[in-house]
Amino acid sequence: MCTIFKYTKANSNMEERHRRLLHKQNPLWAGEKLRTPTFKRDLFNTLGDYLGYKQIIAINGLRRVGKTTLMKQLIEILPESVESNNICYISFDDRDFQKYETADDLINYFMQFSNTGGKRYLFLDEIQKVPDWPHLLKTYYDLGDDLKIIISGSSSIELKKYKETLAGRIITLNLPILTFGEFARYFGMDCKVDIGSANEYDTKILPIKDKYFLLFHEYLVKGAFPELLEIGEADFIKRYISESVVEKVVADLSREIKPERENIVYELLRIFSRNTAQPFEITTLSNALGVNRNIMSRYVGLLEKAFLIKTAYNFTASVVKQVRMSKKAYIAHSSIALSLLDYPPDTVNFEEMNIGHLVESVIMGSLPNASFWRTPQKDEVDIIINGKKPLPIEVKYKNNITRKDMKGILKFMDRFGVNEGIIITKDLFKTEDMKTSKTEDLKTIRYVPAWLFLLADHNPARST
């Protein structure tokens, strides 16, 4: 049945074009069905569980990772008893809606003509584009328990500003770029594997490992963004990432920087793309791009809060030392680096390219709590998973692993009394016990292909 909104003085103050656009964004009000993809992100079930709580749900993440789709999929699973006029979706991507007064009018329009006798659901997409949005949400949140608010934002910059205004009223969940497990699941491949079980590897993976290998290389080129899942044309993929993701995010950052400095932020991102998984110095970057250290430090922070890069500290027990030492920067996904560095689409050949740093960035991006280890003597381990027992991971995207390749990881294991380490390989899967040069204790090294590590059902890095 169609939902009829009565035209009264209360809503006549809203401009007609605003009411028309709001109705267009809510086809349910006209008795139409939503059309959303059947594929669902891993975060979907968690969000579904959280719908029963009073607190506002905030979904943040990089542009084009599927936040809007996820919100609409949540609408589809609301109980059938929820009337269509008790569900409202508002996208603030439309410039006409990006004023506090307009946003307030839109929400009030919904609140007045929804059914006050039942639960109401309010979905606010790209909420960070509304000035003083935390105060606006607090006003409606405090009206009562019958309103559930779900919001999304493309930057953690704005979403962190709610801490004082919305303290105790909001729960934030991050929607990451598409994981390799999700990518594999979309194409019908098993996406959960126990890498500690040789038998499971032999029975489930070995017969089709070539398919996983090829799928992983496809993931490196386009796997971050759901809309590219069915796209195979390389030039389109490159333009999509450059124009629909990077340029849009940098433009969004103009709220935080002078618009004329957008090109500096863009060039900074290109530098990180070219040198992903490498240490960086703020002074070096500021000299290269002609801005002072404080501004450069802020720009690096903005790129991280916009989910375009990730930074990591050097592993040390001293927090003071950690802050003073060089950090590493990692591009959010290999496909962003490939797009920004202008690789000719038809020449991206992973058999010939040295892609170790791109793979390292993808591995690091999949781990929520990781650092790296580097000494003044240049001993180094690519990734350290922090925990009671740190787990060292060295990325060597090749199959011929020499003793020299293991020098850093074995030194780390000796120094910190660690008995197990992982070497990420191209295709090699085995376990080897060996002695180090300083002790007679056996150390266990597990060689795991990058694609297999990213599929791990019980990723050892997450259970340490």
Q: Has residue 154 got a pLDDT over 90?
A: no
Q: Tell me, what's the pLDDT at 145? A: 82
Q: Which residues contact 448 (CB under 8 A, 6 or more apart)?
A: 195, 422, 423, 424, 425, 429
Q: Tell me, what's the pLDDT at 427? A: 92
* Better pLDDT: 65 or 10: 65
9-174 has CATH 4.10.520.10 classification: no
Dist. CA 309–CA 336, nearest whole Å: 10
Amino acid, single-letter form, for residue 312: A
Q: Tell me, what's the pLDDT at 352? A: 56
> What would the pLDDT profile of 204-232 be if each residue is shown by its tens digit?
889 999 999 999 999 999 999 999 999 99
102-108 mean pLDDT: 95
Phi, psi torsion values for 296, nearest 5 degrees? -65, -45
Dist. CA 321–CA 319, nearest whole Å: 5
Q: Tell me, what's the pLDDT at 392? A: 97
> What would the pLDDT profile of 52-90 be if each residue is shown by its tens digit?
999 999 999 999 999 999 999 999 999 999 999 999 999
Domain boundaries, the chain: 9-174, 180-463
Q: Which two tokens stand for residue 335?
A: 């496909």
Q: Tell me, what's the pLDDT at 428? A: 94
* Better pLDDT: 1 or 13: 13
CA Rg, the chain, in Å? 25
Dist. CA 337–CA 356, nearest whole Å: 13
Phi, psi torsion values for 83, nearest 5 degrees? -70, 150
Q: Tell me, what's the pLDDT at 326? A: 85
Q: Has residue 337 got a pLDDT over 50?
A: yes
Q: Tell me, what's the pLDDT at 123? A: 98
Q: Tell me, what's the pLDDT at 442? A: 87
Q: Has residue 416 got a pLDDT over 50?
A: yes
Q: Tell me, what's the pLDDT at 375? A: 92
Q: Which two tokens stand for residue 188?
A: 């019908």
Q: Has residue 267 got a pLDDT over 80?
A: yes
* Better pLDDT: 332 or 159: 332
What mean pLDDT, rounded, does the chain reach? 89
Residue 316 pLDDT class (50, 70, 90 cuts)? confident
Q: Tell me, what's the pLDDT at 8? A: 46
27-33 mean pLDDT: 95
157-177 mean pLDDT: 82
- Residue 338, by phi and psi: left (phi above 0), alpha (psi -120 to 50) or beta? alpha
Dist. CA 240–CA 250, nearest whole Å: 15
Of all residues in the chain, what percent carry a pLDDT higher than 70?
90
How many C-alpha atoms does 423 have within 13 Å on its Cβ side?
Answer: 30
261-270 mean pLDDT: 94
List the beta bridge partners of residue 171: 57
Cβ atoms of 193 and 199 within 8 Å: the answer is no
Residue 144 pLDDT class (50, 70, 90 cuts)? confident
Residue 464 pLDDT class (50, 70, 90 cuts)? very low
Cβ atoms of 144 and 57 within 8 Å: the answer is no
Q: Tell me, what's the pLDDT at 312? A: 96
* Better pLDDT: 317 or 327: 327
Q: Has residue 462 got a pLDDT over 50?
A: no
> What would the pLDDT profile of 348-404 be if each residue is shown by its tens digit?
566 656 789 999 999 999 998 899 999 989 999 999 998 888 999 999 999 999 999
* Better pLDDT: 158 or 297: 297
Q: Has residue 440 got a pLDDT over 50?
A: yes
Dist. CA 154–CA 60, nearest whole Å: 6
Dist. CA 121–CA 246, nearest whole Å: 32
Q: Which residues contact 369 (CB under 8 A, 6 or more apart)?
A: 385, 386, 387
Residue 9 pLDDT class (50, 70, 90 cuts)? very low
Q: Has residue 7 got a pLDDT over 60?
A: no
Reported pTM: 0.91
303-309 mean pLDDT: 95
